[in-house]
């Protein structure tokens, strides 16, 4: 299977997303965690974020994970299923809790940002090749994973290694590097994530995280370090994103496509990377051209950036298609703020 999704295989779902989701507590106001008086409950998790965004965009999606046999586990399964995601692959663990975390309202990139995780020993950290095989991780056209899962435990790493091993019959494997240094207490994260990414068909990685993890500067250097995936998406923050897609035929030549980012009024920066992956995967499933795949990634990311939680309401498919088809100059003039996904194309364009 190549960097595009085969259209002649009709499995039960289009995308399977495997990984931990947690109950997330969002602050009622800015400030230190010590000073915030109350929190609103929502959900968060890289792979379940992708699953929910894809389902909201009209795709058939299955989420595979483990949660505790507790109220937080009930909430996660119910909330994710409400997006239209198939949760039949979620296993309940009576001995381990569902993970939760609290965060501040400030940008993750600033020193003022705080996150308090309560996920050690969680039900999801007990995922392994043995107990998740029956859940059907290879039952879709695409399997989406992230580097976060690999960091949760030795068993989770073994599972991620098995699912990214190149074997006949596997679906297209999509892998978001998602380097979280704090989860890799032994310092092995950078090396492990590079190995896992080399086993995937489609890789998403931020230019900044590649610099931090692998001391690689620039998109071309990242591609040289990751020649194996048939498609590599390098997210470059405000500069946009670049896709390296291997051309058919002999050799290792790439078609390189770059699309600038949108001008967005950011409400909360969390979840944008997951939303970008969902938008790109959605366009890939629809066999859209390279530039359109990147634009749909930017549009889905903008939906997350202009919402307070990890998940934003995506634009309708017709609305997103109209915006993705704009001429380059019109794309550059787009200004997107809260509520833009319910607006028309003319309403979100700057005169």
Contacts 24+ apart (CB under 8 A), 128-136: 128/155, 128/156, 128/158, 128/159, 129/155, 129/158, 129/159, 129/162, 131/66, 131/91, 132/18, 132/64, 132/66, 132/91, 132/159, 135/18, 135/64, 135/89, 135/90, 135/91, 136/16, 136/62, 136/64, 136/89
Q: Please name which of 110, 63, 72 lies closest in space to residue 91, comparing C-alpha atoms.
A: 63
Q: Longest Cα pair distance anywhere in the chain, in angstroms?
A: 61
Label the pairing between strands 115-118 and 100-103.
antiparallel
* Length of the chain in terms of residues written: 351
Question: Cα(296)–Cα(315) distance, rounded to whole angstroms?
Answer: 10
Six-digit token string for 152: 């949760």
Tracing tokens 């994973």 back to the chain, one arrives at: 145
How far is residue 207 from each of residues 95, 151, 198, 220, 324, measured CA to CA in Å?
39, 20, 17, 10, 23
Question: Cα(121)–Cα(294) distance, rounded to whole angstroms?
Answer: 37
Rounded to 5°, the CA angle 25-31-37 comes to 55
Question: Cα(273)–Cα(275) distance, rounded to whole angstroms?
Answer: 5
How far is residue 227 from each of residues 118, 254, 280, measured CA to CA in Å?
37, 10, 20
Tracing tokens 């230019």 back to the chain, one arrives at: 207
Active site residue 208: no
Of 86, 176, 274, 310, which one is the catalytic site residue?
274
Q: What are the catalytic residues?
A: 274
């Amino acid at each position: 299977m190549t960097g595009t999704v085969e259209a002649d295989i009709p499995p039960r779902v289009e995308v399977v997303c495997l990984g931990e989701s947690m109950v997330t507590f969002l602050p009622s106001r800015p400030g230190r965690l010590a000073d915030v008086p109350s929190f609103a409950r929502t959900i968060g998790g890289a792979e379940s974020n992708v699953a929910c965004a894809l389902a909201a965009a009209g795709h058939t999606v299955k989420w595979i994970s483990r949660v505790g046999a507790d109220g937080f586990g009930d909430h996660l399964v119910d909330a994710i299923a409400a997006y239209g995601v198939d949760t039949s692959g979620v296993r309940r663990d009576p001995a381990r809790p569902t993970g939760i975390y609290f965060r501040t309202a400030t940008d993750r990139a600033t020193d003022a940002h705080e996150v308090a995780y309560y996920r050690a020993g969680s039900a999801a950290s007990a995922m392994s090749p043995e107990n998740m095989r029956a859940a059907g991780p290879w039952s879709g056209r695409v399997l989406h994973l992230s580097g976060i899962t690999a960091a949760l435990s030795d068993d989770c790493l073994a599972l991620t290694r098995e699912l990214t091993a190149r074997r006949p019959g596997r679906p297209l494997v999509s892998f978001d590097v998602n380097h979280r240094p704090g989860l890799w207490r032994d310092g092995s994260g950078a090396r492990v994530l590079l190995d896992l990414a080399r086993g995937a068909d489609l890789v998403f990685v931020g230019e900044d995280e590649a610099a931090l993890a692998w001391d690689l500067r620039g998109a071309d250097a990242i591609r040289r370090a990751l020649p194996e995936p048939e498609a590599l998406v390098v997210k470059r923050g405000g500069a946009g994103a670049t896709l390296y897609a291997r051309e058919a035929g002999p050799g290792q030549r790439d078609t390189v496509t770059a699309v600038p980012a949108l001008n967005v009024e950011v409400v909360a920066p969390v979840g944008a990377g997951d939303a970008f992956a969902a938008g790109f995967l959605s366009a890939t499933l629809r066999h859209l051209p390279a530039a359109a795949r990147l634009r749909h990634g930017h549009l889905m990311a903008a939906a997350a950036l202009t919402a307070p939680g990890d998940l934003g309401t995506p634009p309708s498919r017709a609305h997103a298609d109209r915006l993705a088809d704009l001429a380059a100059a019109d794309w550059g003039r787009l200004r997107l703020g809260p509520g833009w996904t319910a607006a028309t194309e003319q309403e979100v364009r700057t005169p």
